[in-house]
Amino acid sequence: MDDKPPLKLLSPQEWESLIDDFQYGGARRQKWTAAYAILPSLVDQALASLLKRDFPLKLLLVLFLEEFSDSLFADSDSDSDSRRSFLHRLVDTLRSLLQSTAPDGFAVSFSFKEQFMVSVTSILISLETGLDRPGFVEELEALVESLLTVVNRPNHGFDRQIRAVACECLRELEKAFPCLLSDIAGHLWSLCQNERTHACQSYILLFTSVIHNIVVERVNVSILNISVPLAPFSVPQILLSKEGSSAGLNYKELRRAIAFLLEWPQVLTPSAMMEFLGMIMPMALALELQTSMLKVQFFGMIYSFDPVLCHVVLTMYSQFLDAFDGQEGEIARRLMLISRETQHSLVFRLLALHWLLGFGEMLLKKGDGGKMKSFVEMGLKFYPSVFDPLALKAMKLDMLAFCSVCPDVRNSNSESDKLVVKLFQDGLISVSAFKWLPADSTETAVAFRAFHKFLIGASSHSNADPSSTRTLMDSTIFHTLQGMLVDVMLECQRLVPVIVALIDRLLSCQKHRWLGERLLQTFDEHLLSKVKVDYKLVSCFPIFDRIAENDTIPPRRLLELLTKFMVFLVEKHGPDTGLKSWSQGSKVLGICRTLLMHHKSSRLFLRLSRLLAFACLYFPDLEVRDNARIYLRMLICNPGKKLRDMLNLGEQFLGISPSPASSIFSVQSPRSTHNVKKPSNLSSYVHLERLIPLLIKQSWSLSLSSLSIGNNKPGNLEDIRDPEPIVEEREIDGSSSDTIQIIPENERINKPREPLRVMDSKISEILGRLRRHFSCIPDFRHMVGLKVRISCSLRFESEPFNCIWEVGPPFGGLDVIDSLPAIYATVIKFSSSAPYGSIPSYRIPFLLGEPPASGNISGQGVSLDIVPIANGSREDKRFRASVTVELEPREPTPGLVDVFIETNAENGQVVCGQLNSVMVGIEDMFLKAIVPPDVQEDEVPGYYADLFNALWEACGTSCNTGREIFLLKGGKGVTAISGTRSVKLLEIAAPSLIQSMERNLAPFVVSVIGEPLVNLVKDGGIIRDVIWEDAASHDDDDKGDDANARDDFERGPLHLTYFDETTDRDSVVNITKRNMGCFLVLIFLPPRFHLLFQMEVSNFSTLVRIRTDHWPCLAYIDDYLEALFLA
């Protein structure tokens, strides 16, 4: 504080701004206190200025000191010295001021003296922190003494007002230090008796406070005693010693004093009367006065139009219930009349009604049912009149509502029920304009306030309230109100939002929620059937929305109405209603959305899906159709809880958007950026798995990848295409320009004819078959190639997913499914380095996470009955989505397909990443050969058999067909066959071979030869529609009957000689001891290759002769066969 300069000398203007700044507070005050050492200097200057003769702002300055001394000194609590000296100087100044009676020219004006007295007293009181503060008592005594000097001149002429003010100062001191003046009470009494000017009010009040404090503090002093002199004044011992000397009151004297005081109430102003009675009432209680005396004396004040006096009477009533017993009716009537006095300002009329309500509540709480009768009887008097201000009308409606809850009315019969309805209806007439005024009119607000009051009636919000909802629900008033609201909505749809606000208000109230629900139910029952289906219906939508939100209301009626409305919209649609159809259709969908969010899907399903389907099909507006489709999809695909969460999420972001459907999709974009950053090894908990596992696992992919990397793809193709490289090139060229195109075409047409050579009928038959076959094979370069489909399933584990994506367990659904995470709008993309063409991505709208393993659940202490459900549901289809990988191989090789996933978590996060690759094996490439469309179904086995034979021949070493080229489908591409042969011996018993065959290669078998084998296989029924051949009947027509043939087979070597036509068969027979027969297997390898097996089955081993026109595949086939049969 020392470092700051003392306050500079202020001019009056500066004083003024200082005072302003102090009052303004905040920074403006800081300006002064920060710059100067306020405390000693400011006070010094102020006191000095006050004593100056011509200082213009004295009054202001005194007031400033009064208002701010407290905070000035509060800043430096320790500085008690300066405080003391300040007080000392103040009191001193006051004393000298009061003594300066000299009316010389400038004369201290009376009003300044008065204000100074008041201010000094006020400062002293507000600075006081305890009488024990050193030096304080002295100042107090000095002040009291000066004031007493002023007071002690009763009936003195010109200074009567200043004496009155001095009395007030003393009274204030007495209030602050109770019993300060108790020792001189006798003097004060006599002063009080003597004073006859208008100042007597202050004397009376002063004396009253003194004896009030005596009574309250129970101090034993004689108030008749005037032995203690007025001056010098000293603070009584009881105050200083702080010991309650409650020796008992001197009742007699005190009663006399009160009797004296009660003689003079008529000299008091109304405000003083309030103060006076405020002190008298506790005394009367303490001294056990006859309170009926007070009633006689003061009850008449209730007839005054001064509101203060009326309130005093009310206060007296509540304090002296016994004395005023029986006056309730009169008081209530009087208050009612005050409210009707148009001369009063509005606020007092309102206050009177509030008092009356409070008064009634007081009686109700006391359980004085009988006294409430007067209220009910007065009911009619509370009818608002036309010219009552709306505020008053509102209060009068409150009064009517109060009358309706009075026990008299409540406990009774239908008659009083009718009375309530009558009160309500009559009362409402005064604001019935709400029906035609705008919805935001004040009349509407008042009317709906009354609706609310009458609705909830006597059901309080306290938990202890016994009033049952049943009685309220059955009451006539409730029914009337319901009907009224329905009518209002039918008549003036403008008011729907207001009604919705009322409903919302009830719904948000814990205690009255049921009321709101009940109202909505009523609307559902009565409104929906009555509304007219036209364009105006949309104004009722807010209420429909509330109905839709409420799951206590079956959605049947609403959906029916909405369907009707949709039909209406569709029917009315015309060129000029485009926008309207869109807007209203969207709003209907908005309600559908609300329904989806708040109801169980099963409850809605039938009607809602019908509505949505109708909209999808017929609604004229595209957006509405689209949205309807999306909703329909959601309704069908997604389980309820998820659906709700999903829709709800949209709401948070797009609360304003009227177009409801886009929500899910819009959510992603703002969030995707920062979420992508998250590192995720998705593959550890999101799995894309093959449905049929591959026979060969790891080694495959290795051998393949090296192969495909090593071979340049086009080169590879070129190799395979060797037979007609020129044609290929030309064709490629040809596609670039029209002119050239013609030429190669001619050439190409010529070319097949070019190699003219001699062919026997067998070869030409073979060629014919092959041509026919190849003409069915699409040329992938010009059209959609042959597809290979690999079925997989996608699943993900809930727990790791939740942890990583912070989806958090959704809000405590009891259903296990509800607590599982889900992913939405999943896109799975594939890519591969293998020649598989472009692989289309796959989309999954919705997928639930797998429930955590059962062990976890029980470990977490969840009740055991969940476990079986969880176990069962793991296999549930809901947790797996089937994914088909569609390859369009350029070359039949195994390979790896890389998988990328992009999906959305429930909280809108975008989840993307790579999953484990899908392995493609050679067996995935196995297709059945294409059957030309002109082949009848029953001819198919025959066709296959012929084709097999033809290909077998063509791939043989005797390369009769080697130079032939075959046109592919579409006529643009050609191919040739260059066959390769191979052999594989499988050391496996026949039954297990047959089993494996049946399991894995059954579709490809074209023919089974040999009776023993046929017998074995045919019964299995798995290999069907093939050519069954006896070896005898086919190959050896001259060999007798079946039995022989069989014997021959068993005797293998014997037959050798018969099979010499085909060297291959000879060798087989030679090797195999017991030949049972043979499978012919034709496998088509996309895009245009073949794999042929001739499997000669013996009891303990099988020889597989392999021919193919795609030699690289032999590498895999070897492994494949081993895995297939030997594993």
Partner 1 sequence: MPSGCSIRAIWILNNLDSLVFSRRFPVVEKRWRAVCERENEASAADDSLKYTVFHLLPSDSELVSAFVERKRGEGSTRGLGTRVSQSVKGSDSWVDDPITRHIIGLYINKDEDGDNNLLWPVILHMKGQFSVLVLPLVEPRHLKAYACLCKRSDCGNAVGVDDSLSSLLLDLPSITGAFTVAHAIGDIISGDGVEPEVVVSSAPSVGGLLDSLTGSIGISGISSRAKPVAAPVASASPSGAAVAGNATSDAPRIGARSLDKDALRTFITSAMPFGTPLDLNYSNIFSMKINGFSASDLPPSDLKQPAWKPYLHRGKQKVIFTIHEIIQAALYDRDEIPDSISISGQINCRAELEGLSDVSFPLTGLNKNQIEVLSFHPCAQVPEHGVDKHSLMFSPPLGNFVLMRYQATCRVGPPIQGFYQLSMVSEDKGAFLFKLRLMEGYKSPLTMEFCTVAMPFPRRRIISFDGTPSIGTVSTTEHSVEWKILTSGRGLSGKSIEATFPGTVQFVPWKIQRLPSNLASGSIADEDSDIETDGSNNIINIDECLMEKMNKDLLSVDLEEPFCWQAYNFAKVSFRIVGAPLSGLSIDPKSVSIYPTVKAPVEYSTQEPYGKLSFLVLMTISLPEVPFKVANVYTYRSIFSYQQVTSGDYILWNTLGPCPSAAVPKV
* Residues of span 119-148 touching partner 1 by CB under 8 A: 121-123, 125-126
Identity of the residue, 355 or 801, whose beta carbon is nearer to partner 1 in the bound complex: 355
Identity of the residue, 118 or 1045, whose beta carbon is nearer to partner 1 in the bound complex: 118
Q: Is 830 helix (H, G, I), strand (E, B) or coil?
A: strand
Identity of the residue, 433 or 484, whose beta carbon is nearer to partner 1 in the bound complex: 433
986 is an interface residue for partner 1 by CB under 8 A: no
Angle of helix 622-637 relative to helix 601-618, nearest 10 degrees, comes to 150
- Residues 381/382/384/385 CA torsion (nearest 10 deg): 20
Give the one residue of 236, 360, 585, 723 binding partner 1; rule: CB under 8 A.
Answer: 360
Smallest distance from partner 1 to CB 175, Å: 8
471 is an interface residue for partner 1 by CB under 8 A: no
Q: Which whole-number Å values give the CA distances from 454 to 360, 376, 433, in the listed order?
A: 17, 15, 19
337 is an interface residue for partner 1 by CB under 8 A: yes
Rounded Cα–Cα distance for residues 289 and 795 (Å):
90
100 is an interface residue for partner 1 by CB under 8 A: no
305 is an interface residue for partner 1 by CB under 8 A: yes
Identity of the residue, 57 or 664, whose beta carbon is nearer to partner 1 in the bound complex: 57
Q: Which residues pair with 883 in a beta bridge?
A: 792
Identity of the residue, 42 or 506, whose beta carbon is nearer to partner 1 in the bound complex: 506
Give the one residue of 178, 427, 555, 650 binding partner 1; rule: CB under 8 A.
Answer: 427
Instruction: Look up residue 493 and give its DSSP letter.
Output: G
330 is an interface residue for partner 1 by CB under 8 A: yes
Give the one residue of 453, 598, 1055, 1090 binding partner 1; rule: CB under 8 A.
Answer: 453
Give the one residue of 350, 816, 983, 1002 binding partner 1; rule: CB under 8 A.
Answer: 350
Burial class (CB in 10 A: 0-12, 13-18, 19+), 831: middle
> DSSP letter string over 881-905?
EEEEEEE--SS---EEEEEEEEEEE
Smallest distance from partner 1 to CB 865, Å: 38
Identity of the residue, 4 or 198, whose beta carbon is nearer to partner 1 in the bound complex: 198
261 contacts 230 by C-beta, under 8 angstroms: no
**What x-and-dash track marks residues 553-592 binding partner 1 by CB under 8 A?**
--------------------------xx--xx--------
If binding means CB under 8 A, how many residues of this protein chain bind partner 1?
169
295 is an interface residue for partner 1 by CB under 8 A: yes
Q: Is 675 helix (H, G, I), strand (E, B) or coil?
A: helix
Q: Give the HSE-up count for residue 78: Cα atoms under 13 Å, Cβ half-sphere.
A: 1
Give the one residue of 4, 12, 23, 1056 binding partner 1; rule: CB under 8 A.
Answer: 23
Task: Give the residue from 360, 480, 375, 496 showing the smallest Cα distance to 424.
Answer: 480
Query: Which range binds partner 1 by CB under 8 A, 58-66, 946-954, 1007-1015, 1037-1045?
Result: 58-66
Query: Which range binds partner 1 by CB under 8 A, 200-208, 607-615, 697-705, 789-797?
Result: 200-208
**What x-and-dash track marks residues 235-274 binding partner 1 by CB under 8 A?**
-----------------------------x-xxxxxxx-x
1039 is an interface residue for partner 1 by CB under 8 A: no
Give the one residue of 14, 81, 325, 440 binding partner 1; rule: CB under 8 A.
Answer: 440
The single residue listed with the structure tokens 């069954």 is: 1028
Smallest distance from partner 1 to CB 628, Å: 19
384 is an interface residue for partner 1 by CB under 8 A: yes
Smallest distance from partner 1 to CB 650, Å: 21
Structure tokens, 194: 């003597």
355 is an interface residue for partner 1 by CB under 8 A: yes
Smallest distance from partner 1 to CB 190, Å: 14
Smallest distance from partner 1 to CB 152, Å: 16
Smallest distance from partner 1 to CB 125, Å: 5
300 is an interface residue for partner 1 by CB under 8 A: yes
The single residue listed with the structure tokens 């239908």 is: 414
Give the one residue of 30, 76, 107, 303 binding partner 1; rule: CB under 8 A.
Answer: 303
The single residue listed with the structure tokens 């395979």 is: 720
Q: Which whole-number Å values give the CA distances from 452 to 401, 487, 543, in the listed order?
A: 10, 17, 17
Identity of the residue, 398 or 953, whose beta carbon is nearer to partner 1 in the bound complex: 398
Structure tokens, 914: 């790579």
> DSSP letter string over 750-801?
HHHHSS-----HHHHHHHHHHHHHHTTSB-TTTS----EEEEEEEEEBHHHH
Q: Give the HSE-up count for residue 33: Cα atoms under 13 Å, Cβ half-sphere.
A: 16
Rounded Cα–Cα distance for residues 514 and 285 (Å):
48
Rounded Cα–Cα distance for residues 649 and 655 (Å):
10
755-774: contacts with partner 1 (CB under 8 A): none
383 is an interface residue for partner 1 by CB under 8 A: yes
Query: Which range binds partner 1 by CB under 8 A, 239-247, 340-348, 641-649, 775-783?
Result: 340-348
155 is an interface residue for partner 1 by CB under 8 A: yes
76 is an interface residue for partner 1 by CB under 8 A: no
Smallest distance from partner 1 to CB 80, Å: 18
928-947: contacts with partner 1 (CB under 8 A): none
Beta strands in 1055-1101 (DSSP E): 1075-1085, 1089-1098
Structure tokens, 410: 């409540």
Rounded Cα–Cα distance for residues 713 and 181 (Å):
117
Angle at 346 between CA 344 and CA 351, to 5 degrees: 95
Smallest distance from partner 1 to CB 567, Å: 19
Identity of the residue, 66 or 891, whose beta carbon is nearer to partner 1 in the bound complex: 66
Smallest distance from partner 1 to CB 81, Å: 22
615 contacts 625 by C-beta, under 8 angstroms: yes
Q: Which whole-number Å values give the CA distances from 438 to 393, 435, 443, 827, in the listed order?
A: 19, 8, 9, 52
388 is an interface residue for partner 1 by CB under 8 A: yes
Smallest distance from partner 1 to CB 906, Å: 30
Identity of the residue, 430 or 1075, whose beta carbon is nearer to partner 1 in the bound complex: 430
Smallest distance from partner 1 to CB 903, Å: 38
Smallest distance from partner 1 to CB 136, Å: 15
| 129-132 long-range contacts, CB within 8 A, separation 24+ | 131/177, 131/235, 131/239, 131/240
Structure tokens, 192: 């009080």
Instruction: Look up residue 1126 and give its DSSP letter.
Output: I
25 is an interface residue for partner 1 by CB under 8 A: yes
Helices (H), 839-926: 854-859, 866-874
Those residues whose C-beta lies under 8 Å from the C-beta of residue 53, and which sit 6 or more positions away, are 106
536-555: contacts with partner 1 (CB under 8 A): 536, 538-539
354 is an interface residue for partner 1 by CB under 8 A: yes
869 contacts 906 by C-beta, under 8 angstroms: no
**What x-and-dash track marks residues 473-502 binding partner 1 by CB under 8 A?**
--------------------xx--xx--x-
Those residues whose C-beta lies under 8 Å from the C-beta of residue 623, and which sit 6 or more positions away, are 582, 586, 659
